[in-house]
Structure 1
Amino acid sequence: MATGESVLDDTLLLDAAALAAVDTGGVLRAAATAGAQVRSAALSTDEAGVPDLSGHRPRGLVLVRRPGVSATAMPLVAAVLGPACPVPVVLADTVPLWTGPLDVVVVHTDDANDAELADAVGSAVRRGSDVVLSAPGDGPVAAAGAGRVRLVEPRIPVPPALDLPRAYAVGLVVAGTLGLLGAGFDVRLDALADALDGEAERNQPGHEPFMNPAKALALRLAEHTPLLWGVDAVASAVAAHGAAALATHAGVVAHADDAARAATATGLRRALESGAAERDVFHDPFDDPAPAALALRLVLLATGEDEPGQALLRRTGRDWPVADVLHPVEEIVRGTPNAAVLRAGVLASRLDIAAVYLGLATRTIEPA
Structure 2
Amino acid sequence: MLDDTLLADPRALAALDSGGVLRSAATAGAQVRSAAQSAAEAGVGELAGGRPRALVLLRRPGASATSTGLLAALLGPGAPVPVVVTDTTPTWIGPLDVVIAHTAEETDAELADSVVLAVRRGAEVVLSAPGEGPVASAGAGRARLVEPRIPVPPGLDLPCALAVGLAVVQALGLLDSPLDPTLDALADVLDGEAERNQPGHEPFMNPAKSLALRLADHTPLLWGTDRLAAAVAVHGAAALATQAGVVAHAGEVTESAAAAGLVRAVDRGARGTDIFRDPFDDPDGAAEAPPVRLVLLATGEDDPGQVTLRRAGRGWPAADVAHPVDEVARGTRHAALLRAVLLASRLDVAAVYLGLATRTIEPA
2:350 counterpart of 1:358: no
Residue of structure 2 equivalent to 1:3 = none
Residue of structure 2 equivalent to 1:267 = 261
Aligned residues with identical type, % of pairs: 70
Picking from 289, 303, 307, the partner of 2:299 is: 303
Equivalent residues of 1:162, 1:352 under 8 A apart: yes
Q: How does 1:146-165 map to 2 (within 5 A)?
A: 146-165=140-159
How many pairs are equivalent?
360
2:94 counterpart of 1:100: yes
Equivalent residues of 2:270, 2:318 under 8 A apart: no
* Alpha-carbon shift at residue 319 of structure 1 (Å): 2.6
Identify if the C-alpha distance between structure 1 residues 280 and 152 changes in structure 2 by more than 3 Å, giving closer, same or farther: farther
The letter of the residue matching 1:90 is: V
Residue of structure 2 equivalent to 1:337 = 333
* Alpha-carbon distance in 2 for matches of 1:263, 1:321: 14
* Alpha-carbon shift at residue 96 of structure 1 (Å): 1.1
Equivalent residues of 2:220, 2:292 under 8 A apart: yes
TM-score (norm 1): 0.95
* Alpha-carbon distance in 1 for matches of 2:6, 2:322: 24
2:148 counterpart of 1:176: no
Picking from 320, 324, 328, the partner of 1:324 is: 320
* Alpha-carbon shift at residue 360 of structure 1 (Å): 0.1
Q: How does 1:45-56 map to 2 (within 5 A)?
A: 45-56=39-50
* Alpha-carbon distance in 2 for matches of 1:25, 1:98: 44
* Alpha-carbon shift at residue 181 of structure 1 (Å): 1.1
* Alpha-carbon distance in 1 for matches of 2:188, 2:315: 36
Equivalent residues of 2:279, 2:285 under 8 A apart: no
Segments of structure 2 that go 5 or more residues without pairing to the other structure are none
* Alpha-carbon shift at residue 10 of structure 1 (Å): 0.3
What is the alpha-carbon root mean square deviation over aligned residues? 1.6
* Alpha-carbon distance in 2 for matches of 1:111, 1:346: 25
- After TM superposition, the structure 1 stretch with the greater mean CA deviation from structure 2, 320-329 or 254-263, is 320-329
> What are the superposed Cα offsets for residues 245-283 of structure 1, whole Å, 9 maximum, x if unpaired?
000000100000100110001111122223389567786
Q: How does 1:4-43 map to 2 (within 5 A)?
A: 7-43=1-37
Picking from 112, 118, 122, the partner of 1:118 is: 112
* Alpha-carbon shift at residue 318 of structure 1 (Å): 1.6
The letter of the residue matching 1:353 is: V
* Alpha-carbon distance in 2 for matches of 1:75, 1:52: 25
Picking from 288, 295, 300, the partner of 1:292 is: 288
Residue of structure 2 equivalent to 1:209 = 203
Equivalent residues of 1:273, 1:321 under 8 A apart: no
* Alpha-carbon distance in 1 for matches of 2:270, 2:187: 42
What SS does structure 2 have at the residue aligned with 1:44? helix
The letter of the residue matching 2:233 is: A
* Alpha-carbon distance in 2 for matches of 1:302, 1:236: 8
Equivalent residues of 2:33, 2:183 under 8 A apart: yes
What SS does structure 2 have at the residue aligned with 1:299? strand
Equivalent residues of 1:279, 1:294 under 8 A apart: no
The letter of the residue matching 1:57 is: R
Equivalent residues of 1:218, 1:355 under 8 A apart: yes
* Alpha-carbon shift at residue 321 of structure 1 (Å): 4.1
Equivalent residues of 1:14, 1:209 under 8 A apart: yes
Identify if the C-alpha distance between structure 1 residues 159 and 275 changes in structure 2 by more than 3 Å, giving closer, same or farther: closer
* Alpha-carbon shift at residue 55 of structure 1 (Å): 1.1
Picking from 64, 74, 84, the partner of 2:78 is: 84
* Alpha-carbon shift at residue 184 of structure 1 (Å): 2.9
Segments of structure 1 that go 5 or more residues without pairing to the other structure are 1-6
* Alpha-carbon distance in 1 for matches of 2:101, 2:349: 25
* Alpha-carbon shift at residue 290 of structure 1 (Å): 4.6
* Alpha-carbon distance in 1 for matches of 2:274, 2:185: 45
TM-score (norm 2): 0.96
Identify if the C-alpha distance between structure 1 residues 211 and 158 changes in structure 2 by more than 3 Å, giving closer, same or farther: same
Picking from 212, 237, 245, the partner of 1:218 is: 212
Equivalent residues of 1:233, 1:258 under 8 A apart: yes
